[in-house]
A and B are shown apart, each in its own frame.
Chain A
């Protein structure tokens, strides 16, 4: 053990000032990041987002998650996919213009809720949120045929703008 023998007595002194400096810098850095951190996007554990070079952080809006096993709308309604997640929603094929009936009904409800919220915000003099936008969190292996049916269902419920959630490349 490092120590200096001073007059037969072991004295040990550790200079803590450099450590204090490092800690101070670290705290300042963390506080700055803390204050500008974006929306806390909760992504399902069984969902792997594709990577992208986008710089924009995910904004808040109603969310549709497409995992390998099901389609979950706003954390509520869950539409199971078929076993191999390939021929998914094929059972709903008969529905108009490729839409999924159950999903369409849920999107319609969501749209009505958004409409009410917008009116309330307007009455309170607040800036109203974008009510025709949805966030899609889809697993990177999901084929477009499934995505397309979700998009069609939402489109028919008047959701025409989408934010595709992606994993930022530069953060990894």
Chain B
């Protein structure tokens, strides 16, 4: 499984990569929304799922999701939002922007992997 993970915190990127690597998943990393779009563009074929933080410089998570949802090439791609914020408001915004699901940081590795398997249907 190939996943694109976007977070401005190096620590979180490392943790996600470690978690995914243990499952044999491939992780591509980016550190903000703009970078995420670049990396996404380079991924061929497209990733099976995208994991993104919300609070990031340059282009934040919501902005990133909106852009991706506008791109027919990535139609239907599952996007999970990963963030510490538990505010309901923000979850609604994320959903409106087009997110598929929501995972709260700090994440339980098993849950993250489970969620990815669920939304992609892959093992």
Q: Say if A and B assemble together.
A: no
What is A's interface to B at a CB cutoff of 8 Å?
A: none
